[in-house]
Structure 1
């Protein structure tokens, strides 16, 4: 299981490889939210998202002989790129199973990083596991899961170590930390790190409307699934359900989940570009949307939003700017 010690070990292996992303702020965003807003800009991480941390943590922890055989992952795009980049740096072959309806930019970037991309039709009911399992058996590849994997969670948890340090630098001792949440790897990892390093910072999952499986699981006390695999522009965080490993951490450590609409995500993207000069994808802007437009559901005079990714296709980004900028 993931532990603080595993997160700290991952942080050591990530030194010199991952970026210490900034904690940004803007008085204009403070006015919208009615409190101080700080944005942890993981969109500026290598490959455009926090997923590089988990990919590097997993690859760097592998037995060298297994790593030489190659790795496989399934992802709509950000985990794909994170694993592909880490595998390339370690000289390991990588196969990535991606939904055919993933943003073309993410598919192209994954291929450009040297990975073999295998597409499957999730809209027609095809499963990523069914596409990956034969390849694992045939080639002896090691599966690196997108969130339900201890080393991946540990790598994502290094974001929480940085948040604790940066919050202290800003004099923030008590605040909600909003995290864009799919399967919960980043959310769980940050929560585990903050439990020790900054216990006054409470992690809260942020999800798209209609895909709030974590919030519903929190309410029911058991793992709940989303009724459909697609239907939101927030493709990066459309996962079936919380993970078996992440769920116990989420249920123990996180405050109530928050849910935002696609339009709120688009508006947050436009404001992030205007006021912080950063580019976010819809799934990476959900936390900021919750911070800006759901202020009545938050506590304290400050909030930290983790902007998890910026791998947005031009058409979607243009839509956000044309409607809300």
Structure 2
């Protein structure tokens, strides 16, 4: 199935599941992204019939009916009582596979079209059930900014380059890779691919990617090797447990950031932008993994050293500011 058709089917399911009304084919054509591309009425109806057949073969129950006795044309919807799953029991390995799959749903790349479909429904005057998306959209987050660009590069087979922060010794290096796929391992997201700098397969933890992921080739620039198990590769060659700590120096506003103060040692005083504060030192095994925690204290904390941690915290602040602006 093509990506365009798969997206259209997802939007169709969301559309029919989110409405309490029966929607006619013409109204669905105007609301669901993808149908407007049909060059003629006949082409649309053939496309719609194929999609209805596909949904029924997938076990999705389409309900046909009319909203009132005055309607002359049948409409469609999906009744939640028929769509929802009952309680099911999964083996541990099956549950792990399902949990991994649903992690993708909260990424902007995979939910944007779904939310767009709901907005079109409301704009068209359709009575939308706000709780409907929760049925098909599990809430597991992918917070790394690099996730979206890397997933797009994998799908398009484009070479990418990015700045990568190593934990020990703490340093920043530029990497250029042919991304084969993205996987989750032990609660962290990784990209696996061919490292052009090292001329060998490598995996990179997304939380250690600093700044923007840049594409440097046209689509289709490489082919992923056959029968490569990305998850096994990460499990076999992923990050080793750190054996030494890194000293981090922070500025804490006077009397604030108690959570950091409990784990830090005060070594001096400093005034930043007219605000008095304390200079503290903190021992961390993985400074990069603490960037989000430190950024959560907002203006009460400033990273003095190391430089790569300061940049990472700033990336978190910029990302949050961008979301609030939207």
User: What TM-score does the superposition give when structure 1 sets the normalisation length?
Assistant: 0.25
Higher strand share: 2
User: What TM-score does the superposition give when structure 2 sets the normalisation length?
Assistant: 0.25
Higher helix share: 1
